Amino acid sequence: MQITLTLNDKKLTADVAPDTLLIDFVRSHGCLSVKRGCETSNCGLCTVFLDDKPVLSCSVLAARADGHKVTTLEGLQDEAAEFGAFIADQGAEQCGFCNPGFIMNALALFREKEYPADEEIKEYLSGNLCRCSGYEGQLRGIQNFLGWKKAKKEAAE
């Protein structure tokens, strides 16, 4: 079957098998930040934005993305680099395997809530599996990022 979608702001038409998962489709088009972790929709490593909403691409057929916009971390480099530096500063990217999914979900959170409370952060990111860090570094990185963002906004006003 043929599908047409926008992948990281580039219109793309491709033939896919009806059972092709979105994770396999985006990876076959060079989006290697999208990773396969659990294959049970529990780890968050395969998170992409489908029409600007986070979805687990291991649980979405590529055909469902026909006519839609798909964004991976490759399509959010500037935004991701700015936030990712705060995570790295806290040593929260030990092996780095979970970082792309974690960053995608954090960016989705920031779009939904400009300055979320700690409990909201923990709840929103609870679907991300990290076997290295215990999540405290990520939480500190998010808190530092939000503090920096708020100070930057106040200075501009």
CATH code for position 44: 3.10.20.30
Do 37 and 22 share a domain, yes or no?
yes
pLDDT at 137: 82
pLDDT tens, position by position, 48-60: 999 999 999 999 9
pLDDT at 143: 94
Do 81 and 152 share a domain, yes or no?
yes
pLDDT tens, position by position, 87-122: 888 877 777 777 888 899 999 999 999 999 999 998
Last residue of a domain, one of 74, 93, 120: 74
Total count of domains within the chain: 2
Do 98 and 43 share a domain, yes or no?
no
Decide if pLDDT at 31 tops 90. Answer: yes
Determine contact, residues 100/34, Cβ cutoff 8 Å: yes
Task: Give me the chain's average pLDDT, please.
Answer: 91
pTM of the model: 0.89
Domain CATH code at residue 101:
1.10.150.120
Do 62 and 83 share a domain, yes or no?
no
Instruction: Indicate if the alpha-carbon torsion angle 17, 62, 11, 30 is positive or negative.
Output: negative
